[in-house]
Amino acid sequence: MKLAIVTAYPPSKVTLNEYAFHLVKQFRQKDTVSEIILLTDKTEGAKDLAFTEDGCKITVKECWSFNSYTNLIKVTKAIHTSKPDAVLFNLQFMKFGDKKIAAALGLMLPLVCKLKRVPNIVLLHNILEEVDLGSAGFTTNKFMQKVYGFIGTSLTKLILQADTVAVTMHKYVSILEEKYKAKNVQLIPHGTFEITEEQPDYTIPEGPLQVMTFGKFGTYKKVEAMIEAVELVRASSGLDLEVVIAGTDNPNVPGYLAKVQEDYKHVPQVRFTGYVEEDEVPTLFNESAVVVFPYTSTTGSSGVLHQAGSYGKAVVMPDLGDLALLVKDEGYQGEFFEPTSVESLATAIEAIVTNETYRIALGKANYKAATAFPMSKITDMYLNAFQTIITSKAKLESSIA
């Protein structure tokens, strides 16, 4: 199979680029894949293809840009000239831009593939029905939320023109089937990026216990409550704790972390790492005592939770939305807190950092959950889905002939 993947890709900072890196890394090792064609956004630096494993040929075509109104034309042309056997879209609703028209035009690509009879699957990481538009930074205006809801419904109908729409959670399948009467939705879990050959030893380095969070911050991911919660835990437990805030601003809230750093400069042992390169991720997780999700809302299955599990880490999560569903669906465990309560967050953090036995038990449970769905297994599920589509199309064409 000659497989094209439409996605952002490192060193791109556009959302889902890290997920694409791990997809490609696994697809490349599959015997049934003869070539991967990356239809990516344009970046200043070269694409990160420094895999150590042998594998199939990878061809990079930088053919789209964030917020460009010509993405539909340029990606369509790239698909036409590269002539793939199948196309995988790694999408969420703001993948091609945060401007409404640019975003919508990009999301018409699955329909184009269908019209061109190119087998295609959309991996849809979130659905707007499950996004709190206010908390996620879109709008708090009730009228505009209704407008976004109408636009979201229209865009979802466009995406559902794909041969198959893969979603990462059972609830998403139910919503798309019930609301849109969709017959082409399939559950394929998010998957775990990296799983070490040996189980984690669950030890942490000497020195301050690192309370870490990782992501793009400023909308529904905010770190002020986490800093204040750790201050409370320091005061009550006497423990030496370091707050590690790893990642960058959400593109919708530029300058957010710089302001937090200024506002909390009086608080000791708060470290801002900035953007974390792929090869720095293992150290970031391995040195952490606990991974915190200081979210007020959720917008899909959490890649960071799967990463935390793969490194055997205890987690602190808000008791809401998709994170709570993941615990039920995939077996993750952690301490829960009320999203609006600093005291509740402090209690959850303290329960883990003051009890090593409990911390390790949570880490082991999360490692078990993470290893159930390695990316190698997830890519097999996509290849099987493509084979089903290709076989079905062949039968249909044969019957017409």
In three state form, how does the secondary structure of 172-235 look? HHHHHHHHHCCCCEEECCCCECCCCCCCCCCCCCCCCEEEEEEEEECCCECCHHHHHHHHHHHH
Residues 6+ apart with CB under 8 A from 292: 211, 212, 213, 226, 315, 316, 345, 349
| pLDDT for res 55 | 85
- Quickly state the pLDDT bin for 390 (edges 50, 70, 90): very high
Is the predicted pLDDT of residue 187 greater than 70, yes or no? yes
pLDDT digits 0-9 by tens, 107-144: 999 999 999 999 999 999 988 776 655 554 555 566 66
Q: Distance (Å, rounded) from C-alpha 107 to C-alpha 291?
A: 34
Is the predicted pLDDT of residue 154 greater than 80, yes or no? yes
Q: Which two tokens stand for residue 195?
A: 């799983």
- Quickly state the pLDDT bin for 195 (edges 50, 70, 90): confident
The pTM assigned to this predicted structure is 0.77
What spatial distance separates the first Cα and last Cα of the chain, rounded to whole Å?
24
Q: Are 283 and 263 in contact (CB under 8 A)?
A: no
- Residue ranges of domains in the chain, CATH in brackets: 2-191+374-400 (3.40.50.2000), 209-371 (3.40.50.2000)
Q: Tell me what percent of the chain is helix, strand and coil, each rounded to the nearest 5.
A: 45, 20, 35
| pLDDT for res 250 | 84
Mean pLDDT of the chain: 89
Q: Are 231 and 237 in contact (CB under 8 A)?
A: no
pLDDT digits 0-9 by tens, 2-35: 999 999 999 998 888 889 999 999 999 999 999 9
| pLDDT for res 145 | 61
